[in-house]
Structure 1
Amino acid sequence: MTDLSLVLSPLTQADLGAIERLDERAFGPGRFARSAYRLREGVEPDYHLSFAARVGTLLVGANRMTPILCGDSPALLLGPLTVDPAFRSSGIGEALVGKSLEAARTAGHALVLLVGDLSYYSRMGFVPAPPDRLAFIGPVDPDRLLYHELVEGAFAQARGKVRRAGARGSPIA
């Protein structure tokens, strides 16, 4: 049998249709009501920081990094992180997150937020955000709001309303 290795490559617009179908299988239609999804509406991910995972030619996972603003401070929103159910618990999600964090650090970004499970993301250096520090456009379980500093002390600047940002960090109405 041929050994098919995992390949992580930068996300492209051509990948988005397959990723949308993967997200549908993994998260269902209710995903669009989530606050993190609403933040990403109408904003392209940063394709240099977002990755697709393939085994051979099969797309088995993907993640996106989207520019956001926390008050006036630029940050990135990680997610959705999606792994095909048949390939879960094989390290693909951690590999995707690690690749995105390293790319973001190299590109000079300072802070990454996500809404997710601390038990999973703490292995990659994410910690809980202090309560009442950030306000989302919709409800977010405060126990699931996590951050990762790519530059020490970056979270100290993050306060206020979390909102969409364009590619250059400017607010989107």
Structure 2
Amino acid sequence: MTTQRYLFSLRSLALAALFGIGGLLSFDALANTPQPTAERNRQFIADAFTQWQQGGRTFFQDVLSPDVVWTIKGTSPVAGTYRGRQDFLDRAVKPFADRLSAPIRPVVRDIWASGNDVIVHWDGTTTAADGVPYSNSYVWIFRMKDKRATEVIAFLDLAPYDDVLRRVPAPK
């Protein structure tokens, strides 16, 4: 233990004893312990994005709990809360994916994890079925439990997403 850390721990102990504040000891102990849950969750999501980027088509089945609550933030018609993986796939993913000439390929910019929360900043590009390029940046916040996302909050620029839905007819 370094001298600085040792002195900090002694100060925490003295303050806790003086004021009866056990939280300082707990905070100090937590600050110095590894977070295996966070790293495990971060690695699971990173691996899933890597598989998707390499052409995998099972990202949502692999990552999302069947009863996931997925919320798209914003004010467009697609924004809102989807209850269950199938609801999200049927009402948000499929109508969009059906209008693309190829699946979106993600490029992860960064991944952060704390406990059961994983945040991914990624960019996605593809071409719509009418030949017009699609490009967007996303931030998805995953709440994980047993290697499945039980809650997701998604941020993206909804204008390009909505443009594809308006411009490209749904396949018959």
Q: State TM-score, norm by structure 2.
A: 0.35
Work out which structure has the larger RCO, using CA pairs closer than 8 Å and 6 or more positions apart in sequence.
Answer: 1
Q: State TM-score, norm by structure 1.
A: 0.35
**Structure of larger gyration radius:** 2
| Structure number having the greater helix percentage | 2
